[in-house]
Amino acid sequence: MRKSIIFVVLAAALAATPLMAEQPAQTVLKDNAPDRYVVVKGDTLWAIAAKFLKDPWRWPEMWKLNQEQIKNPHLIYPGDVIVLDRSGSQPELKVEMGETVKLSPRIRADDIGKQPIPSIPPKVIEPFLSRPLVIEPDGLDKAPHIIAAQADRVYLGSNDVAYVSGIKDAKVDSLWHIYRPGKALIDPESQKTLGYEAVFLGDGKVTKAGDPATIVIIGAQQEIGKGDRLVAAGPLTLKSYAPHAPTTQIRGRIIAVRGGLGETGPQNVVTINRGSRDGLEPGHVLAILRLGRTVEDRTPSHKWFGADKVKDTKLPDERYGLVFVFRTFDRVSFALVMSATRPVLLDDVVTTP
């Protein structure tokens, strides 16, 4: 009887205790990892990490960063010396300053005014940060729109004048992005419309307030016409999270490739069908998987008149690259392909590495 009571109490205690999370594997250094590296202008956190680690996304582990530091890694500057400390049980990266080695990077007085090292190449992702490029269903229905062009022109280009309804309170010289709804972003799993690609047409500057307001087209990238929509241009926000894996299991699909192509590769942007409501945030790194196809496994019969044995066998899924999430919307996200050993295709899977 006593053994039964002890067993019940122990079982209850185990049930009440959360399962211990799987311990992450030890960070693996590259075979040719340097002992020191001097940061230069044009470096990125990812590129620096790749000099030391086989898995660059595990960079925060080497810095011993907490969650707040991961979200604000503007701590490394050109001229800093990165030192690889191999003395402990786990290698650690540090910043050397004169005769002092700091245990973790931090902002210093002599760095004020300097530009910190970004996470990934900013020139590649800036167009995806300064403009929406993804809109929710019906997201532009109430946006200001072009109602006419000067001299009744059908299509507008740079330096042409247009009249816009819906921005009567806009200030003179304020800048507006001009869009046209594009391809629907369909979730391959639920078949629901997650949003639309916003086709960027150009910019317009207000020259006269009112309703309609007068704008002049600047920097037209495509022909602009009656009915095209305007969105106020906001400041460029370049977030720089340290690369890190999501703390939860994420699994999604690549649903669009920049330029409407069917495949892409490193240093190109893809759209995935997971967003902020799924737990994604800028800085998250995801692995790219190619799902194994199903093949026919035929075993020849050893009998003269026997039929071959046939069964379907699924080949293993293969991980072949990494993406870095740099901008999230509610239901979709933009990610930069950081590495890939084969072409990245639409409908490939992205998952927590």
Provide long-range contacts, Cβ within 8 A and 24+ apart, for 235-238.
236/126, 236/129, 236/130, 237/129, 238/118, 238/122, 238/126, 238/129
CA atoms within 13 A on the CB side of 119: 30
The residues with which 340 forms a beta bridge, in sequence order, are 321
Please tell me the distance from the alpha carbon of residue 65 to that of residue 260, in angstroms, as a whole number: 38
pLDDT at 253 (0 to 100): 96
Please tell me the distance from the alpha carbon of residue 174 to that of residue 235, in angstroms, as a whole number: 12
Q: Which domains does the chain have, with CATH numbers?
A: 36-117 (no CATH), 128-232 (2.40.10), 251-351 (2.40.10)
pLDDT at 28 (0 to 100): 83
Question: Is residue 179 within 8 Å of residue 200, measured between CB atoms?
Answer: yes
Please tell me the distance from the alpha carbon of residue 352 to that of residue 284, in angstroms, as a whole number: 9
pTM of model > 0.85: no
With tokens 């010396």, the residue in question is: 81
Kindly provide the b/e burial profile for residues 210-230, where b requires at least 16 CB atoms within 10 angstroms of the residue's own CB.
Answer: eebbbbbbeebeeebbbebbb
pLDDT at 16 (0 to 100): 31
Q: In a 10 Å sphere around its CB, with 0-12 CB exposed, 13-18 middle and 19+ buried, how is residue 86 labelled?
A: exposed
pLDDT at 148 (0 to 100): 93
Question: Is residue 302 within 8 Å of residue 225, measured between CB atoms?
Answer: no
CB atoms within 10 A of CB 181: 18
Q: In a 10 Å sphere around its CB, with 0-12 CB exposed, 13-18 middle and 19+ buried, how is residue 68 labelled?
A: exposed
pLDDT per position in the chain (353 positions), as tens?
Answer: 433 322 222 223 223 323 223 334 566 888 889 999 999 988 988 898 899 988 888 888 777 776 666 666 657 888 889 888 888 778 888 887 544 444 454 555 555 556 788 888 888 887 777 666 787 767 777 889 999 998 778 889 999 999 999 988 888 999 999 998 888 888 998 898 888 888 889 999 999 999 899 999 998 888 999 999 998 887 666 666 778 889 899 999 999 987 777 889 999 999 999 999 999 999 899 999 998 888 877 776 666 555 667 778 888 889 999 999 998 988 999 999 999 999 999 999 999 99
Please tell me the distance from the alpha carbon of residue 22 to that of residue 123, in angstroms, as a whole number: 37
